[in-house]
Structure 1
Amino acid sequence: MIDMDFSRRDFVASGAAALGAAALSASAEAAPRGKRRKLAPSDTVNVAIIGAGGMGNNNANNLVSQNIVALADVDFEHVARAFLDDKGQPNPERDPLKAKYDAAAKYADYRRMFDAQKDIDAVVIATPDHHHAAAAKMAMERGLHVYVQKPMAYSVHEGRLLLDLARKNPKLVTQMGNQGHSGDDGRRVVELIRGGVIGRVREVHVWTNRPVWPQGIAKPDPVDTPASLDWDMWLGPASVDWGYNPDYGHFNWRGWVPFGVGALGDMGAHLIDFPVWALEPGLPTRIESRHSRWGGDTNPWDRAGPEVLTSYPLASVTHYEFANAPGGPVTMIWYDGGLMPPTPKGIPSSRLDPGGGVMFVGETGYLIHETYGENPILFGEGVADKAAAIPVSLPRISGGIGGHEMNWIRAIRGEEGISNPFEMAVPLNETMVLGMVAMKADQPIAYDGRAVAVTNVLGANQYLTREYRKGWEL
């Protein structure tokens, strides 16, 4: 459990005033619409997929044993391509899922799906980031279990809102789609760090080779929208009037400010997960980001940055300080864009995977693992013997990393505990997106998690939430 400088019960309630208590409370207390089915272990779950191509298709493929009753997507031609192989030929391995998709009801607008489809038990949300909270809120208000791809929310405000909903509807099973949280290796990392295998940890380095999508550039000119794509629905909550360009669509949205949260928000859910889980440091108290230039529409080389931010910097280093960690202050440093920490003396540089990883620096050694918590390696005198003596204490998830989706199903049916519910996912998500707040503030920020406020740069508080297009307000 994450031990913050205040209790979990206080996590949302104490900050409600700072983020608009009336709106937050009204959303969270909305009564579920309709009667939720009570599911037994022998039942199959009726699942809807919002964002049915790309990652949503992969999630659905792991749920093919369930009833996929509805799909919501803005481009079903794109969805159809998910059933082809690299040569554009039908992929027989996906035939079972294709049969489920063919039989499912189809909608361009998930709001209409929620209104029309009364047989849904649970919803997978695998849209671009800017839709996550809107879709999850609508689903939870209707009494539906939710699996939300990472990051589960675009902003601090959205995360707190969803956590408040989850707490006020405790029978709903929630899961963030960072599958490494269900892996055996990642759980062993947490056990080893908590067991003191490398002594007290005061410093952690986290890195990724992302972005592998456009960043650090101005937005391109609009082009004709494909006939199969509902671009207005794709824009959804985003308060921008950008015309279509394939540089935003389907995968590349991650790097564009109105739609995604950059490399930190995308991969932090996998990588920062383990330090936050193992060390339980609470929320960060000081964050500073150093980065390459922003992408923007006006004067991108000005030191003050472009007038209109359009895409995130291509590379950044973000320093987090956790002053209230129970064992004493902890520093975590994030690197993206292919940047990496220096290699400690005595450790082969090949042990730091350039694709991404985490390095815990302890008093008596190091623990290094890859992106999803996999392949942990220990360095230090006597650490192997210490590791062997540290017992297994966390439950293992059936199927490990590949079982993350079915863990959610089994939890809905009461068969297994949920791997990463919003209670755990929101503090992680908040830590990630606070890095984006510091990046936008362009100076170090001091953060009070109890008040949900940046205390030293008051103008940065605007970045704890975001503007919404009319009709999409949360």
Structure 2
Amino acid sequence: MDGSDHKAAQATTRRTFIAGSVAAAGLAAIPGGASAATRKIAASDKVNVAVIGAGGMGASNMSKLTSQNIVAMADVDLEHVAQSFRPGSDGVVSPERIALKAAYDKAAKFADYRRMLDRRKDIDAVLIATPDHHHALAAKAAMERGLHVYVQKPLTYSVREGRMLLDLARKNPKLVTQMGNQGHSGDDGRRVVELVRGGLLGAVREVHVWTNRPVWPQGDARPAAVPAPPSLDWDLWVGPANVDWGYHPDYGHFNWRGWAPFGVGALGDMGAHLLDFPVWALETGLPTRIETRHSRWGGDTNGWDGKPPEEITSYPLASVTHYEFGKAKSGPVHITWYDGGLMPATPLGLPAGKKMDPGGGVLFVGERGMLMHETYGSNPTLIGEGLDERAAAIPQSLPRIREGMGGHEMNWIRAIRGEEKISNPFAEAGLLNETMLLGVVALRAEQPIEYDGVAGRVTNVPEANAFLDRQYRQGWEI
């Protein structure tokens, strides 16, 4: 692209994007060709991709897929989508975002993803980057139509939804599924798994995992409703959430994670990037006992007294969750999760000049030493004498994903075309997803829960089983 083309692309405004959206919407009712249920996609083919939740994280994901045919998009606020193409702090729009803008301009536009999936028959694959409470509904609708799916983390809002998607994936093995925790494709994270499984640390019985999240409103009472922006279809945004809350900017478009009807808090956000590696490396299976300690719930005014408020609005500002994995492959494992900026103590023997990243990390504590890494499995550090030499002798045993973390989206495309094994399909991601969500179940239960992973039931607190599921707003039942 020469300088004049780049300058012209930067001049694109939200107004011209909306105008292009209106024009493209006229394509929405045109029937397409064969669906993914019947279409065989060769390695030389482009995949026909649709996106649900096209701005924010959806735009970040889709900017990696502009080599494919982006045929349709569904979003409740096209004005917000258009903000994805504003110049950055350096005054420049990246070439990837310029290419995405051009692709979005040509795509059919919908507000309601259910209508898009009903009307467009030319879609092969769907990328879902909505708030958490829509994930399972959108994925189920796509999979039932024979479409490959990429779903941002967490895979679902509830444990039951996760099991439902896992069951759908097992019944439809030709569908290529991927959860959007890109660290699973990273070289560093895969090396961590190889080192732990290779016996570098000896037996590992203790792991600490921490994050600085939330970095959004949490621990707060529900604010008074204000008028929604004219560009936003608030009723569609609320969708399946069984609440009658009016709009407030503290809910959307990014801040929804901490509000109980729409997100699953810090565990749902960063657990997929941090718990992933100990669950993967230690082959923990599902937890057998979970307990969560926390600060006051949003809406509490007198401090925390052990009882949640009558209406749970936002999650506590900070929590610590203790997971016991009594059936882990190599023996019982205890994993402690810390959020809200809480962290474990600095390990003895940490190399000089090395600090624990307050943004997030994982510390494996083994019989022969320790291993610490940052979020996404990045920058692993060995703690203990002789570990570096022993690590060098442990061979590579996991395949590497082309472009590492940055190739997570295209790995999905290449797997659809039969070129490459998928990085993190629902068959593997489902266990991590359920583990994360069981921390939220224990939070709501306000006492330790014992879990039967085969039956998918809490065995010691029967009333806590209600938290494995959720109620849906009328018309959005799953």
Same fold, judged at TM 0.5 (above) = yes
**Secondary structure in 1 matching 2:109:** strand
Deviation, 1:451, is: 1.2
**1:318 is aligned to 2:321:** yes
- Equivalent residue letter for 2:221: A
> Is it true that 1:211 corresponds to 2:209 in the alignment?
no
Would you say the 8 A contact 2:36–2:123 is kept in 1?
A: no
Shift of 1:356: 0.3
Task: Tell whether 2:85 aligns with 1:49.
Answer: no
Output one character per residue of 1:46-77: Cα deviation in whole Å (capped at 9) or x when no partner.
00010000000000000010100001000000
Q: 1:15 — aligned with what?
A: none
Distance in 2 separating the partners of 1:297 and 1:343: 32
State the Cα deviation string for residues 258-295 of structure 1 (Å, max 9, x = none). 00000011100000000010000110000000000001
Alignment of 1:363-374 (within 5 A): 363-374=367-378
Confirm or deny that 1:450 pairs with 2:454: yes
Partner Cα separation in structure 2 for residue 294 and residue 177 of structure 1: 29
Separation (CA, whole Å) in 1 of partners of 2:154 and 2:58: 14
Report the AA paired with residue 38 of structure 1: K
Q: Identify the match of residue 275 of structure 2 among 272, 276, 287.
A: 272
For 2:379 and 2:94, the matched residues in 1 are separated by: 32
Matched, 1:398 2:439: no
- Paired residue for 1:283, among 279, 282, 286? 286
- Counterparts of 2:365 and 2:450, CA distance in 1: 24
Give the equivalent residue in structure 2 for 1:18: none
- Residue 300 of structure 1: how far off its partner (Å): 6.5
Q: CA deviation at 1:379?
A: 1.2
Native 8 Å contact 1:136 1:162 kept in 2: yes
Paired positions, count: 443
Amino acid at match of 2:298: G
Instruction: Provide the C-alpha distance between the structure 2 equivalents of 1:300 and 1:308, rounded to a whole number of angstroms.
Output: 16
CA contact (8 A) 1:297 1:308 kept: no
Distance 1:297 1:353 in 2: 31
- Counterpart of 1:37 in structure 2 is 39
- Inter-partner Cα distance in structure 1 for 2:304 and 2:316: 12
Whole-Å separation in 1 of the counterparts to 2:388 and 2:74: 50
Which of 344, 349, 354 is matched with 1:346 structurally?
349
Preserved CA contact (<8 Å) 1:219 1:297: no
Residues 36 and 147 of structure 2 are in contact (CA less than 8 Å); yes or no, is this contact kept in structure 1? no
The one-letter amino acid of 1:442's match is E
- Alpha carbons 2:306, 2:446 under 8 Å: kept: no
Structure 1 residue 296 displacement after superposition? 2.7
Distance in 1 between the 2:300 and 2:138 partners?
30
- In structure 2, which of residues 294, 299, 309 is the aligned counterpart of residue 296 of structure 1? 299
Tell me the secondary structure at the aligned position of residue 124 of structure 1. Answer: strand
The residue type paired with residue 146 of structure 2 is G
Give 3-state SS (helix, strand or coil) of 1:71's partner.
strand
The answer to whether the 8 A contact 1:369-1:375 is kept is yes
- Cα distance, 1:386 vs structure 2: 1.2
**Shift in Å at residue 355 of structure 1?**
0.6
How do residues 52-71 of structure 1 correspond to structure 2 at under 5 angstroms?
Answer: 52-71=54-73
1:473 and 2:471 aligned: no
Aligned AA (1:54): G
Tell me if structure 1 keeps the 8 A contact 2:152–2:180: yes
- Any idea what SS the aligned residue of 1:372 has? helix
Is the CA contact 2:42–2:418 (under 8 Å) kept in the aligned structure 1? Answer: yes
Corresponding residue SS for 2:166:
helix
Match of 1:118 in 2: 121
Any idea what the Cα deviations from partners look like across 1:127-163, whole Å, max 9, x if unmatched? 0000000000000000000000000111110000000
Give 2:261's aligned amino acid: P
Aligned to 2:169: 166
Task: Give SS of 2:243's match.
Answer: coil
Task: Answer yes or no: is the 8 Å Cα contact 1:46–1:119 preserved in 2.
Answer: yes
Residue 261 of structure 1: aligned partner: 264
C-alpha separation in 2, matches of 1:103 and 1:90? 23
What are the superposed Cα offsets for residues 137-190 of structure 1, whole Å, 9 maximum, x if unpaired?
Answer: 000000000000000111110000000000000000000000000001100000
Alignment correspondent of 1:252 = 255
Report the alpha carbon displacement of residue 380 of structure 1 after superposing the two structures with TM: 1.2
Q: For 1:177 and 1:87, locate their aligned partners in 2 and report how far apart those are by CA, in whole Å.
A: 26
Q: Is the 8 A contact 1:298 1:307 kept in 2?
A: no
Q: Which amino acid aligns with 1:281?
A: T
* 2:71 alignment partner AA: V
Distance 1:345 1:466, change over 3 A: same
Give the 3 Å change call, closer, same or farther, for CA 128–197 of structure 1 in structure 2.
Answer: same
Tell me the amino acid that sits aligned with residue 56 of structure 1: G
Structure 1 unaligned spans of 5+: 1-31
**Quick one: which amino acid aligns to residue 291 of structure 1?**
H
Letter in 1 for 2:407: G
Distance 2:66 2:260 in 1: 34
Q: Distance in 1 between matches of 2:356 and 2:228?
A: 42
Q: 1:73 aligns with which of 63, 75, 81?
A: 75
Q: Which amino acid aligns with 1:96?
A: A
Q: TM-score, normalised by structure 2?
A: 0.91
1:357 equivalent in alignment to 2:327: no
3-state SS of the aligned residue for 2:377? coil
Asked if 1:127 corresponds to 2:136, the answer is no
Is the 1:207–1:339 contact (alpha carbons within 8 Å) kept by the matching residues of 2?
A: yes
- TM-aligned CA deviation for residue 297 of structure 1: 7.2
Deviation at 1:347, TM superposition (A): 1.5
Measured in 1, the distance between the counterparts of 2:411 and 2:220 equals 39
Structure 2 distance, partners of 1:468, 1:277, is 32
Do the aligned partners of 2:35 and 2:147 also contact (CA within 8 Å) in 1?
no
Aligned to 2:24: none
Residue identity over aligned pairs, in percent, reads: 73
The amino acid that maps onto 1:187 is R
In 2, Cα distance between equivalents of 1:85 and 1:209:
28
1:228 maps to what in 2?
231
Conservation of the 8 A alpha-carbon contact between 1:147 and 1:176? yes
Equivalence map 1:171-186=2 (5 Å): 171-186=174-189
Judge which range, 341-350 or 286-295, deviates more: 341-350
Of 414, 438, 441, the residue aligned with 2:418 is: 414
Structure with bigger RCO (C-alpha 8 Å, 6+ apart): 1
CA deviation vs aligned residue, 1:360-396 (integer Å, no higher than 9, x gap): 0000100000100011111112211211111101000
| Matched letter for residue 243 of structure 2 | V
Question: Do the aligned partners of 2:35 and 2:122 also contact (CA within 8 Å) in 1?
Answer: no
Q: Does the 8 Å CA contact 1:83/1:90 hold for their aligned counterparts? A: no
- What TM-score, normalized to structure 1? 0.91
- 1:137 aligned to 135, 140, 143, which one? 140
| Partners of 1:83 and 1:98 within 8 A in 2 | yes
Q: Distance in 2 between matches of 1:302 and 1:448?
A: 29
Aligned twin of 1:3? none
